[in-house]
Structure 1
Amino acid sequence: MTPIETPIQQQRLSSKRKLDDDDESVLDDDLVYVRMRKEETTETTVKPWSGGGCRGGGGSGDGLLKNRGPVCFFIRMVSEGYSVVMNAFPENTVQSIHERIYEMKRIPLFEQRLIFKGKQLQWEQTLAECGIQKDVILELVGRMRSTEHPQAWQVVNDMVTIAYDLCLGENVQDPVKTVKNLLTTYINLALAPKPKLDSDSATKYFQIFTNCSAISILVTLYVSPFTGNKSCSDTCIRHFLNCCKTTLSETFHTQAARVALEFCKLLRRVGIHDPLYLYCRNCLGFFLEASDITLASSEDQNDKGSVLVQDLFPFVRELADSLLMDLDMSIDTPSFACPVTSNVGDFAAFLVPVRNGIKQQKSNRGFVPYHKLGRNSLVLKEIEYLFLLYDQLLCKIEICLQKMDKRFVNKEMSHEENYFHPACSLYLSVLKELHKISKLYDGASEKLQGVLTRQKAVLCQLLVKYAKRSDEHQWILEHKNVTNFEARRHLAMMMFPEVKEDYEELHEMLIDRSQLLTESFEYVARAEPESLRAGLFMEFKNEEATGPGVLREWFLLVCQAIFNQENALFVSCPNDQTRFLPNSASKVHPLHLEYFSFCGRVIALALMHGVQVGIVFDRVFFLQLAGKSICVEDIRDADPELYRSCKQILDMDSDLVDSDALGLTFVREVDELGHRKAIELCPGGKDVVVTSKNRAKYIYLLIQNRFVTSIAQQVSHFAKGFADILSSTNLQTSFFQGLDPEDLDWMLRGCKDAISVEDWKKHTEYNGYKETDIQISWFWEIVGKMTAEEKKILLFFWTSVKYLPVEGFCGLGTHLYIYKSHEPGDHLPSSHTCFYRLCFPAYSSMPAMQARLKVITQEHIGSSFGTW
């Protein structure tokens, strides 16, 4: 017969029982640790632990025994969610407190556990032995059958116990490894497959970590005076937060942010320059930026999924002060050695949820000026502070830009770009954050625009020299008018991945010249985008030449084929045969849409490789790629006749139009495969007469049908193919929006002016020859007398470049070279197009040289005559 256990016996057995991984009846999941007022809790926590404690017989309680008066303390009632006050004498036992709790709340004794400083109080101990003093807080933990995640409770409790022992100065074998392993186990438990792994589950796991005082004990360990404790705590805290960053999904980031926030609050009292504090603050910024943090006001602080706006602003102020100091220091010491990137990065991260909170506050109240928000606004001070900070940063950044502009003017930076890199990168990052803040306040965007306009010259130089692919510069699109072509081109080109230098990573193509378009289509259109983004390696069948020069030639040849109007993919503008737009009748080609995707890829690849292909897009095509609408003025080049007709209708006398003198209805007639076809521009359009009141609508619908609807599929497939080559496919619209139509003209066609022989000579060097040699003098004299087309062919023979960049020869990025060949004088010149080398013998006379050059400047010979 099993003996009946008394309540006290049951409690003792329960307190000694180990937590079982499979036991779901261990702890109450509603556990909430008792805390004093925030400032008192924080202050107590960061001080080193004293020798007193709650270990059995471990605390002498001498301080209490000297005063036999009653002790007043608090007990947090878990299920009720509030604290009760108790008075007892130091010699009273823990058992007596449990019995009083039973009398008050009728909680069975065997379900009660009292926790003080992370340890369970034993029944036979006195309050003095446990170190219970005036105003301390005990936690009441119940052993309820509704408990979830018992193993997580056990793991965190074991970690707290070890940390507490270390704080008391006790020896623990390999403490760093032990604590790290427990923290890793805890995170793995949170990640273990469960039927429903959601934000609620994440909340529970991180509540366990918080409620077991894991955060406060680890910080206390960090400030502990015992040797090795600080290093142990530092390693373990970094390990835990790093695991949260690298292994937890975004589902957990909000809760991880709350844990990091608690670490920051406590460590901030250690010192704002403390390395561990800075690391925790950086992690908090990471979680804030990487997750959809819900910001709450002080009224909503009981919301378990929220972060208080007020909790984040001490860090925003702190980072803002550091940022202002960085800006001040950069004025005189541009290469200053300080954590600039970290400061501005963390500042940006903390602003993400803060801006969202302010946006929500404004949307709830309507968009009213910040100074008109009522005094009952819960984040009014924060909104006002951010506005004042915006003004302060904007004034400071303008001073910095003015100083940098003087350095550019004085050419101090021409040979010291790396020296100025930290400051210039900082300025661009701060401007980006100011742009984001400006969206929150009336008139703020105009202030920013004013600064950018006044500092346009230096801003453009910063963008060209210091904007990197790893940065995000899309914000400048809204201020495109303060940039120049060089800056816009640089920002657009950074949307492409860098071409790989390792030939083994490049997408290889072997193409037969006689099947150029068909085989190029197979190699490019059928390839995975990732393969093409690395770059291309190209050679023609039965030819030895390979390398960049051959690739440049292929781009020119394949673009000539694509835009050849016999292939029916594109049509040229009547007044400019190098300007194209998609052909609405391209469907005569069965694979026309696939070919448009192929064409988009080819053009993007040509831009990525920096090859000018000699063709440009018409304005109506460009605007559609940029996601913009088309008006009458935009069709001037695409269809001059239609443009004149539309202008006449719009300018015509109203009475004449209303008299039906035009005889127009809302119908457009088109030729389709030799047949005349009427297309209604609106439902019932054939019965709607054009009048003075609806003529603007008629013109709009006519243009939409002619230049948008009729080629919508072609444009869409071209855009998709183009986007395949960009670093991210969603950048396609941004790429074209960031450019003016003329910018893309210059990038695709290059310099429209005739080749300057003087510029050519200026960028040419010699090997084997000297500039004063007679052969060199003959050469430039002969070139100077060539026709424009002959010069292009010679340049192409020499470099595989037919269209120079808009900057001319300096845009090639390297010099051209003339090498002395040891071949007999009756040989033709040769070239190494990859290295821009022209080789010719020491001809004995100018006529002999001229005759040989005359041969290679014939179109059919000059093409693909380079060796490699």
Structure 2
Amino acid sequence: MADQLPHDTSTKRKLNDPTGASTARMRHNQILFNSSLRSPIQFFVRMFSGKTLVIQADSSDTVASVHWKIHSITGIRPIQSTSSAVPSMEEGLIYRGKQLELSQTLSECGIQNDDTLQLVRRMRSMSHPQTWKLMSDLNLIIDDLCNCNDNPNIITYVTRLSNMLTDFLIKTPNYSSDGSEEYLHIFIHSSVPASLVKLYVSPSLVTKQAAHGCICQFIQNCLNLFANPTIVYRLFAPILFEFCTILRGAAGVDDDLYLFFRSRLAAMMLENVHDVKHVLRLHHVFPFVDELATTLSHSLELSAQSPDFKQLSESDVLVFIQLMHSVKQVIRRQTAFGSPVSLPWLMQDEAANELKGVHSIICNLLDKMELCLKELENQLGLVSIGRREPIVGCWFQYLLILKELESISKLYKGLKEMFWEKMSRRGVGLCYLIGRLSKKSTDYQWILEHKEVTNFKTRQRFALKMLQEGRHMREELWEMLISRSRLFEDSFEYIGHATRRSLRGQLFIRFENEEATGPGVLREWFSLVCEAIFNPQNALFVSCPNDGRRFFPNPVSKVDPLHLEYFVFSGRIIALALLHRVQVSIMFDRVFFRQLAGDDISFEDIRDADPYLYRGCKEILEMDAEVVDEDILGLTFVSEYEELGSRNVVELCPNGRSMIVNSRNRDNYVNLLVKHRFVTSIAHQVTHFARGFADIITDRQLRESFYRILDHEDLNRMLHGSKTAVSVKDWKEHTNYNGYKIDDPQISWFWEIVGSMSAEQRNVLLFFWTSIKSLPVEGFGGLDSKLHIYRLSDSHDCLPTSHTCFYRLCFPPYPSMEVMQNRLNIITQNYVGCSFGAA
């Protein structure tokens, strides 16, 4: 037999008596015309559907009239008894654990402003009658607490209230059954949360503190009851939501307890964002999102007006982001709206108010963020003319908000494009932020994949971060002893056969029969190894005919059985050179870079790699269609190429020998020809190079995205360095002196001699001084420290020496410019400049 909510028999008779119902209706009508008895109140009615209605009535109105108000608002006809005048006892209003009689007035029921009632159906079959009794007792105790104020027994009341709340939780049925949800919903339906909040907002500090303690303890016990976060979310998120809703109306959005509940609810929703079955609906979450968005919008506006504004709350931003994760999940679930959501359609659908509201929130915050970035750029303009330093206020929060706006903009048609259009206008400020505040490359990868809004410096910084992340200073040194006569072979043994973990630490290089060690030796080793790798005699790479500095894999590298292992080795060397910020004076051709990035190779990409093939294909594509169809070219779908002195023919497609090239298939012919020459023929080489390069990136998730955040020329700038001639002015500005003064004659002679050198001589001197063959793109300012000239007390016959690790050039005070010129000419000879004077 099903349990039922206890009622006294008189109540039952009244509810089933049509005459009594009509009497109640007559009494209600009489009261409506008695204006002297009016006392307006506003309260909440929680529907069985989960929605909450706001009802405005008079304290003299009857419960029956409230039922009809609910009907007029919702348009849903209530389940009725044999009399159509009143709702049947299958539907009723619960207040403080008791079903209200239809004939009672709101005043007689004790209903006041901001109270919450629960509309339920099938009252007779309701289970857990003892629990309903417990809820009724809780409401009575809370009423007593509201009225006791300075009563010395208040501690007894509070203790009893706390124990009863704990007892309620202890008796929760097994969470694996549906009974646990029904049991815990009784807590909500009984209006106990509303009563506790009413106690919390009471004017008495004593009762307020008591309510605060009981509420917090109850919620903490809820969270501790079950270890499984999913179970906690399914069972207790509705309770948290109930407290949030009531506290927001009763205590206000600035109340500490409300903010705590809102934060905890947001965190719980984030932890269970993929729990589609039990996620709250959008109309549940939207009021909190809207409330936070309003606060953030106001703070961003103040921030844009005053750069030193620092009141953009980190906790507000965090909770906003957590709630937006749930909003995104809800929107994705609503497949009826399509993906992405179309705003014109939303404007015609009254049921999509929350979706339109989210769209408005994004647009508003995006406008405010653009203003903030514009103000930042104004500050950077002042910095450039030396007026002041930029003020760091809420910049870190800017990036967090932008990341969330970008993420959710993907769900609305046209909004993603709007977002990136605004960011492209504010690219200077955005790049400054991510450069100033970045910690991990993964945090801002969402920006970097849109290269059009970033600059080279930003992309370079994050590419280096990808290489550096996951490394520890405590990793053991990887020591190598290299013979100059066997430099390629020895380096391959050490690097090609090393474990990935071994290469995560610092590299320690020493050349046989040489004492020099340190960063300078490491830089020289990288330069020499790369010279060997890209040496045409090793047949690993081919240089572009029109630019000997650009390389791509050699299709005939297979002449060496170890060629694929060498490509793994080459990938490791290049990644390590980038990691240690050593410019190695080589560049990758476009066809090589695009394959590393996972992009398709087009006809236009081969312009530099094979100008002859490019011109031939271009002629075929631009030739008059009639001429091509006359088969004057005599082409079929085959590729002829020379390999190791023999001529080979390969079909570009099945039966390619018999397929004549015409005006209709020539595009396909060119594409297949390019694919064979620059994709198929070097696919294994590219794959093994990429594998070796990826070995140096410790984070697996970053390995595939490294090349995507870079432009082709970005990588070449990082590898080759500056392509312009060494600037003597820049060199001089980044040089310090030890033992000399800038106005000493020896220093004046030195710079005059350097200024008269050829570009090649300057490069040799720079290498002798620093072991750097190419400067960074930024010039001398891109080095990790300034250069130094040291005064020696040696004889004037001594040649200059260098300590490349510390960028030191040392020479004695030569007696004349002619003597200094002679000594510098000696060290700038190529055969001397290829190794160190001292290191």
Instruction: Establish whether TM, by shorter chain, passes 0.5.
Output: yes
1:734 Cα offset (Å) = 3.1
Quote the residue 1:793 is aligned against.
764
1:407 Cα offset (Å) = 1.6
Question: Following the alignment from structure 2 to structure 1, what is the Cα–Cα distance between the partners of residues 303 and 141?
Answer: 59
AA partner of residue 324 (structure 1): S
Quote the residue 2:731 is aligned against.
760
Quote the residue 2:483 is aligned against.
513
Quote the residue 2:299 is aligned against.
326
AA partner of residue 583 (structure 1): N
Instruction: Please give the secondary structure, in 1, of the residue aligned with 2:371.
Output: helix
Quote the residue 2:687 is aligned against.
716
Q: Does residue 1:741 correspond to 2:717, yes or no? A: no
Question: Following the alignment from structure 1 to structure 2, what is the Cα–Cα distance between the partners of residues 537 and 244?
Answer: 56
Quote the residue 2:592 is aligned against.
621
Deviations 1:160-217 (A, max 9, x none): xxxxx988333999x9xx99xx99x999x99xxxxxxxxx969998888777789999
1:448 Cα offset (Å) = 2.9
Contact 1:605 1:725 (C-alpha < 8 Å) held by counterparts: yes
AA partner of residue 475 (structure 2): E
**Which of the numbers 271, 285, 306 marks the counterpart of 1:312?**
285
Q: 1:271 to 1:594 in 2, by over 3 A?
A: farther
**Which of the numbers 389, 392, 398 marks the counterpart of 1:427?**
398
Quote the residue 1:136 is aligned against.
none
1:322 Cα offset (Å) = 2.0
1:397 Cα offset (Å) = 2.2
Gaps of 5+ in 1: 1-33, 44-73, 88-102, 122-126, 133-164, 191-199, 296-303
Question: Following the alignment from structure 1 to structure 2, what is the Cα–Cα distance between the partners of residues 106 and 260?
Answer: 23
1:440 Cα offset (Å) = 2.9
Superposition pairs of residues 148-163 of structure 1, within 5 angstroms: none
Contact 2:735 2:789 (C-alpha < 8 Å) held by counterparts: yes
Question: Following the alignment from structure 2 to structure 1, what is the Cα–Cα distance between the partners of residues 401 and 831?
Answer: 55
Quote the residue 2:311 is aligned against.
338
Deviations 1:430-467 (A, max 9, x none): 33333333323333334334423433443343344344
Deviations 1:103-156 (A, max 9, x none): 98799xxx98545446999xxxxx999999xxxxxxxxxxxxxxxxxxxxxxxx
Quote the residue 1:197 is aligned against.
none
Instruction: Please give the secondary structure, in 1, of the residue aligned with 2:394.
Output: helix
Superposition pairs of residues 659-670 of structure 1, within 5 angstroms: 659-670=630-641
Deviations 1:634-685 (A, max 9, x none): 1011111111111111122222211222111111123344443322111111
Deviates more, 1:492-501 or 1:718-727: 492-501
**Which of the numbers 709, 728, 752 marks the counterpart of 2:699?**
728
AA partner of residue 391 (structure 1): C
Quote the residue 2:362 is aligned against.
390
Question: Following the alignment from structure 2 to structure 1, what is the Cα–Cα distance between the partners of residues 124 and 160?
Answer: 41
Deviates more, 1:644-653 or 1:672-681: 672-681
AA partner of residue 400 (structure 1): C
Q: 1:866 to 1:465 in 2, by over 3 A?
A: farther
1:579 Cα offset (Å) = 0.6
Contact 2:459 2:709 (C-alpha < 8 Å) held by counterparts: yes
Instruction: Please give the secondary structure, in 2, of the residue aligned with 1:420.
Output: coil
1:762 Cα offset (Å) = 1.4
1:500 Cα offset (Å) = 6.3
Q: Does residue 1:169 correspond to 2:158, yes or no? A: yes
Question: Following the alignment from structure 1 to structure 2, what is the Cα–Cα distance between the partners of residues 735 and 601?
Answer: 14
Instruction: Please give the secondary structure, in 1, of the residue aligned with 2:158.
Output: coil
Superposition pairs of residues 522-537 of structure 1, within 5 angstroms: 522-529=493-500, 532-533=503-504, 535-537=506-508
**Which of the numbers 309, 312, 325 marks the counterpart of 1:352?**
325
1:36 Cα offset (Å) = 8.3
Question: Following the alignment from structure 1 to structure 2, what is the Cα–Cα distance between the partners of residues 171 and 323?
Answer: 42
Gaps of 5+ in 2: 1-44, 56-88, 103-122, 145-153
AA partner of residue 776 (structure 1): I
Question: Following the alignment from structure 1 to structure 2, what is the Cα–Cα distance between the partners of residues 506 and 632?
Answer: 47
Quote the residue 2:664 is aligned against.
693
Quote the residue 1:601 is aligned against.
572
Contact 1:666 1:688 (C-alpha < 8 Å) held by counterparts: yes
Quote the residue 1:461 is aligned against.
432
Contact 1:506 1:536 (C-alpha < 8 Å) held by counterparts: no
Under a length normalisation based on structure 2, what TM-score does the superposition of the two structures give? 0.74
Superposition pairs of residues 135-284 of structure 1, within 5 angstroms: 168-170=157-159, 225=206, 261=241, 264-265=244-245, 268=248, 270-275=251-256, 277-284=258-265
Quote the residue 1:293 is aligned against.
274
Contact 1:499 1:608 (C-alpha < 8 Å) held by counterparts: no
1:250 Cα offset (Å) = 7.7
Q: 1:598 to 1:250 in 2, by over 3 A?
A: farther
Contact 2:339 2:412 (C-alpha < 8 Å) held by counterparts: no
Question: Following the alignment from structure 1 to structure 2, what is the Cα–Cα distance between the partners of residues 788 and 483?
Answer: 33
Question: Following the alignment from structure 1 to structure 2, what is the Cα–Cα distance between the partners of residues 843 and 244?
Answer: 85
Quote the residue 1:97 is aligned against.
none
Contact 1:581 1:618 (C-alpha < 8 Å) held by counterparts: yes
AA partner of residue 611 (structure 2): P
Question: Following the alignment from structure 2 to structure 1, what is the Cα–Cα distance between the partners of residues 240 and 300?
Answer: 28
Q: Does residue 1:834 correspond to 2:823, yes or no? A: no
Deviations 1:332-359 (A, max 9, x none): 4434333544333332332223233334
Contact 2:717 2:777 (C-alpha < 8 Å) held by counterparts: yes
How well do the aligned residues superpose, as a CA RMSD in angstroms? 4.7
Question: Following the alignment from structure 1 to structure 2, what is the Cα–Cα distance between the partners of residues 86 and 555?
Answer: 89
Instruction: Please give the secondary structure, in 1, of the residue aligned with 2:705.
Output: helix
Contact 1:778 1:846 (C-alpha < 8 Å) held by counterparts: yes
Deviates more, 1:689-698 or 1:705-714: 705-714
Q: 1:205 to 1:578 in 2, by over 3 A?
A: farther
Question: Following the alignment from structure 2 to structure 1, what is the Cα–Cα distance between the partners of residues 557 and 231?
Answer: 49
Q: 1:310 to 1:40 in 2, by over 3 A?
A: closer
AA partner of residue 159 (structure 2): E
Deviations 1:331-390 (A, max 9, x none): 244343335443333323322232333344355547663232486664x11111122222
Question: Following the alignment from structure 1 to structure 2, what is the Cα–Cα distance between the partners of residues 722 and 489?
Answer: 16
Quote the residue 2:744 is aligned against.
773
Contact 1:507 1:535 (C-alpha < 8 Å) held by counterparts: yes
| Percent identical | 44
Under a length normalisation based on structure 1, what TM-score does the superposition of the two structures give? 0.72
Question: Following the alignment from structure 1 to structure 2, what is the Cα–Cα distance between the partners of residues 593 and 600?
Answer: 11
Q: 1:365 to 1:763 in 2, by over 3 A?
A: closer
Contact 2:768 2:835 (C-alpha < 8 Å) held by counterparts: yes
Question: Following the alignment from structure 2 to structure 1, what is the Cα–Cα distance between the partners of residues 268 and 463?
Answer: 30
Quote the residue 1:29 is aligned against.
none
Question: Following the alignment from structure 1 to structure 2, what is the Cα–Cα distance between the partners of residues 244 and 557?
Answer: 66
Superposition pairs of residues 501-650 of structure 1, within 5 angstroms: 502=473, 504-505=474-475, 507-514=477-484, 515-529=486-500, 532-533=503-504, 535-650=506-621
1:305 Cα offset (Å) = 2.3
Q: 1:106 to 1:559 in 2, by over 3 A?
A: closer
Question: Following the alignment from structure 2 to structure 1, what is the Cα–Cα distance between the partners of residues 416 and 498?
Answer: 44
1:616 Cα offset (Å) = 0.6
Superposition pairs of residues 68-83 of structure 1, within 5 angstroms: none
1:526 Cα offset (Å) = 4.3
Deviates more, 1:420-429 or 1:401-410: 420-429
Deviates more, 1:202-211 or 1:601-610: 202-211
Question: Following the alignment from structure 2 to structure 1, what is the Cα–Cα distance between the partners of residues 543 and 564?
Answer: 19
Question: Following the alignment from structure 2 to structure 1, what is the Cα–Cα distance between the partners of residues 210 and 301?
Answer: 38
1:76 Cα offset (Å) = 12
Quote the residue 1:481 is aligned against.
452
Question: Following the alignment from structure 1 to structure 2, what is the Cα–Cα distance between the partners of residues 788 and 327?
Answer: 52
Deviates more, 1:356-365 or 1:675-684: 356-365
AA partner of residue 309 (structure 1): L
Q: Does residue 1:684 correspond to 2:629, yes or no? A: no
Quote the residue 2:673 is aligned against.
702
